[in-house]
Amino acid sequence: MIITVSREFASGGRELGKRLADYLGIPCYDHQIIEAVAKDTDMTENFVAGLSEKFMHSFYPATIGRNFGASYYAVNQSVQVAVAEHEFIKKVAKSGDCVIVGRAADEVLRDEVLFSFFVCADDDSKIARCKQRGQDAEKLSDKEILRKCKDIDKDRCNYRSLYSAKKWGEASSYDLCINTSGKEIKELVPAIAEYIKVWYGTKQNG
């Protein structure tokens, strides 16, 4: 049972992945992917996190600027992080059942029998989730929070497009898309787990 989670920023996708993994008694790989890559390279965790799922974002502004040498280096590091993350994802998928959050894992593992889902939410829910998380959100207006969400989603969308013809966020690109607007994630988890169990059952029979 390999479950991949794509998600809009502040949709609760990370929480959903973690809670689902706990419910099913299997590991969830999210920040662990960054930790593993940082360990295998000479980069810090913060540096890896900054490049993770942000390929195009680093690429375009960098090569338009004058300092091509430095920008080429930045692109190179983004590629290095993506490759290392994908290698790690392939390794953990081979080692047993798991949930993997982000990094276009469904496409990295496209030859495996896996269940892919996408998590989204409406603007009000995203603003509420960002404020609940705290961090920088307290200093931002609702409009600024949504702008931040959209910028991060644009990165994720562009990142995915490098590895997949299946578009980020489109219903037909995933096995299931879940809208968490106004819902408690923990309340949805048992029903999602049930759905996936049924899905795997019919997949094995079919």
Residues within the interface to its own copies (CB under 8 A): 8, 118, 120-122, 169-172, 174-179, 181-184, 187-188, 190-192, 194-195, 197-199, 201-203, 206
Q: Which is nearer to its own copies, 17 or 58 (CB)?
A: 17
Between the two ends of the chain, the Cα-to-Cα distance in Å is: 16
Output the CA angle 37-39-113, nearest 5 degrees. Answer: 35
Q: Which is nearer to its own copies, 138 or 184 (CB)?
A: 184
What's the sign of the alpha-carbon dihedral 186, 15, 90, 3? positive
Q: Which is nearer to its own copies, 91 or 183 (CB)?
A: 183
- Tell me the closest approach of the beta carbon of residue 120 to its own copies, in angstroms: 4
- Tell me the closest approach of the beta carbon of residue 187 to its own copies, in angstroms: 4
Using alpha carbons, select from 115, 129, 87 the residue that is nearest to residue 174. 115
Q: What is the DSSP letter of 120?
A: E
Q: Which is nearer to its own copies, 80 or 181 (CB)?
A: 181
- Tell me the closest approach of the beta carbon of residue 122 to its own copies, in angstroms: 7
CB-count exposure of residue 101 (10 Å: 0-12, 13-18, 19+)? buried
- Tell me the closest approach of the beta carbon of residue 115 to its own copies, in angstroms: 10
Cα separation, 3 vs 21, in Å, equals 9
- Tell me the closest approach of the beta carbon of residue 198 to its own copies, in angstroms: 4
Q: Which is nearer to its own copies, 64 or 171 (CB)?
A: 171
